[in-house]
């Protein structure tokens, strides 16, 4: 298995343009979601990649933290930041050590292509960390994928299943809603679902 837990693996992906998850723009589902938020919020985007989503969130006045341990990804975002004056903090850091910096701090965590990129054995740890990073009224908003991939195929991206998500998250979160989002891009319409969880 590829060592997805090492920054070098992801740096090589960026160097080789092996970035199939990257839409090159704000994710339509998250644009729709954030455009409807009725108050300024503190938002965390783990595994933020080239940062189109956090940059857009910050442009609306939200207080945003974008995290990635790929130096190339972080530098890509920072180069875009030079042209924009927004409240976006970009940090090169391993998400799994993020409790060293933040606890109970975020209103929202936005999950997109991170859960499926990490080693599946770390998924419970991911859930525990997101729970501790959110404030008591916090939410995890996510697009989870790929549902149609065989688990035996490995990854990244590593396959996800609805029953696994429900079983794992229910320990720490209440499921508010999940559905096939009409704004999912065509290539992923049958392969991803939108989830909204509230911290217990």
Q: Where are the domains of the chain?
A: 7-18+40-199
Residue 169: pLDDT above 80?
A: yes
Greater confidence (148 vs 18) lies with 148
Nearest to 142 by CA among 169, 124, 167, 102: 169
Predicted local distance difference test score (pLDDT) of residue 21 = 63
Digit-coded pLDDT (tens) for 27-58: 999 999 999 999 999 999 999 988 999 999 99
Return the percentage of the chain with pLDDT > 70, whole number. 92
- Residues 6 or more apart whose CB falls under 8 angstroms from that of 136 comprise 104, 199
**pLDDT, average across residues 151-175:** 95
CATH number of 7-18+40-199: 3.40.50.150
The neighbouring-strand residues paired with 63 are: 42
Predicted local distance difference test score (pLDDT) of residue 1 = 45
Greater confidence (8 vs 186) lies with 186
**pLDDT, average across residues 11-24:** 69
Q: Looking at residue 98, what DSSP letter applies?
A: G
């Amino acid at each position: 298995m590829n060592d997805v837990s090492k920054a070098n693996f992801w740096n090589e992906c960026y160097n080789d343009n092996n970035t199939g998850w990257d839409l090159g723009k704000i994710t339509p589902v998250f644009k729709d979601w954030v455009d409807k938020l009725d108050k300024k919020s503190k938002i965390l985007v783990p595994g933020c990649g080239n940062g189109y989503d956090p940059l857009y969130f910050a442009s609306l006045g939200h207080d945003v933290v974008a995290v990635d341990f790929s130096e190339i990804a972080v530098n890509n975002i920072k180069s875009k930041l030079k042209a924009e004056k927004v409240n976006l903090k970009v940090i090169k850091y391993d998400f799994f050590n993020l409790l060293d910096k933040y606890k109970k701090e975020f209103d929202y965590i936005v999950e997109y292509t991170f859960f499926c990129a990490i080693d599946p054995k770390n998924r419970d740890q991911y859930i525990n960390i997101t729970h501790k990073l959110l404030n008591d009224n916090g939410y995890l908003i996510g697009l989870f994928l790929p549902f149609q991939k065989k688990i035996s195929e490995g990854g990244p991206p590593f396959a996800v299943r609805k029953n696994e998500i429900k079983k794992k998250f229910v320990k720490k979160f209440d499921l508010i809603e999940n559905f096939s989002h009409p704004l999912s891009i065509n290539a992923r319409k049958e392969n991803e679902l939108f989830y909204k969880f509230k911290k217990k």
